[in-house]
Amino acid sequence: MIISGTSLAAEIKKGVAADVVKYKEQYGREPHLVVILVGEDPASVSYVTGKAKDSEEVGFKNTTIRRPAEITEEEILNLIGELNEDKGVDGILVQLPLPKHISEEKVIAAISKEKDVDGFHPLNVAALWQKQECILPCTPKGVIKLLDKAGVEIAGKKAVVIGRSNIVGLPVSKLLLDRNATVTMCHSRTKNLAEVTRKADILVVAIGRPKFITADMVGEGAAVIDVGVNRDPETGKLCGDVDFAACQEKASVITPVPGGCGPMTRACLMENTIECYLNQVAK
């Protein structure tokens, strides 16, 4: 079974759009998401455009603030400070990566925790690891929603996560652990990776290498979630970390790329913006 992130994301956004209508009547304004884009990296431009498109679709007020790559760290921190203070702004997202002269750490920490729609702020991350209320990071949240949608039982299962980045691998592992999976985290130093992955009931792959996961690395009947977004070196088309055509034969459920985790990340961003908005209007 192929789990379509595109159709699940559409379902989620439909729910968000209905909430926007309801809340606008109740609180007198729609949620407002501000996305900051520094520079003109084509991938970042395309991600930001997608976020603006989704925001429009669900009825948010959305503002994209574009700044040149030469902007200083101080200028961007000041901009974030102003947006933090603005009561008409609910969510702030700075598109990563940033130019080298700007510290991503400082920028992420400067966004108010309450407006941190990405769930990257250190206090949100700490809250996640301490099982406290927090804004969940979008991609990991989307991974769990995809598994739930496919009816994959998580509790008691062997989950293997490849990748340990702050934005995908680590939080995905934590969310699976919180759902009572037994989690094995793999990375570039993992020895005999295929031996580990073959035993997985649930395999989540977030490496960033085209078609890295071959059929011999997937156990019969595993649920495979492919977070990777790459260019196929042969065709130049978008592809995941998983060799989809080959692994589809072994997996019980599998996500495609494109059309899997990507749209889910954006749908979860819409949900997170509503969460931040509700906190703001409740103040």
Binding residue count for ligand NAP, defined by CB under 6 A: 25
Active site residue 26: no
The smaller minimum CB distance to ligand NAP, of residues 51 and 157, is found at 51
The smaller minimum CB distance to ligand NAP, of residues 190 and 252, is found at 190
Instruction: Pick one of 4, 265, 272, 280: the residue that binds ligand NAP (CB under 6 A).
Output: 265
The smaller minimum CB distance to ligand NAP, of residues 92 and 206, is found at 206
The smaller minimum CB distance to ligand NAP, of residues 62 and 173, is found at 173
Q: Is 119 in the site for ligand NAP (CB under 6 A)?
A: no
Active site residue 118: yes
Q: Is 55 in the site for ligand NAP (CB under 6 A)?
A: no
Residue 145 CA to residue 140 CA, distance in Å, equals: 9
Active site residue 158: no
Residue number with the smallest Cβ distance to ligand NAP: 165
Question: Which of these is catalytic: 19, 54, 90, 95?
Answer: 95
- SS3 of the chain: the string is CECCHHHHHHHHHHHHHHHHHHHHHHHCCCCEEEEEEECCCHHHHHHHHHHHHHHHHHCCEEEEEEECCCCCHHHHHHHHHHHHHCCCCCEEEECCCCCCCCCHHHHHHHCCHHHECCCCCHHHHHHHHCCCCCCCCHHHHHHHHHHHHCCCCCCCCEEEEECCCCCCHHHHHHHHHHCCCEEEEECCCCCCHHHHHCCCCEEEECCCCCCCECHHHCCCCCEEEECCCEECCCCCCEECCECHHHHCCCCCEECCCCCCHHHHHHHHHHHHHHHHHHHHHHC
Q: Is 162 in the site for ligand NAP (CB under 6 A)?
A: yes
Q: Is 188 in the site for ligand NAP (CB under 6 A)?
A: yes
Give the binding range for ligand NAP (CB under 6 A) out of 10-18, 21-29, 145-153, 260-268.
260-268
Q: Edge to edge, what strands does the sheet with 91-94 contain?
A: 61-67, 32-38, 91-94
Q: Is 8 in the site for ligand NAP (CB under 6 A)?
A: no
| Shortest distance in whole angstroms from residue 281 CB to ligand NAP | 28
Question: Which of these is catalytic: 118, 226, 241, 243?
Answer: 118
Instruction: Pick one of 228, 243, 254, 269: the residue that binds ligand NAP (CB under 6 A).
Output: 228
Instruction: Pick one of 87, 100, 131, 189: the residue that binds ligand NAP (CB under 6 A).
Output: 189
Instruction: Pick one of 48, 79, 186, 202: the residue that binds ligand NAP (CB under 6 A).
Output: 186
CA angle 21, 25, 27 (to 5 degrees): 110
Q: Which residues are catalytic?
A: 51, 95, 118
Binding site for ligand NAP (CB under 6 A): 139, 162-165, 167-169, 186-190, 193, 206-209, 227-230, 261-262, 265
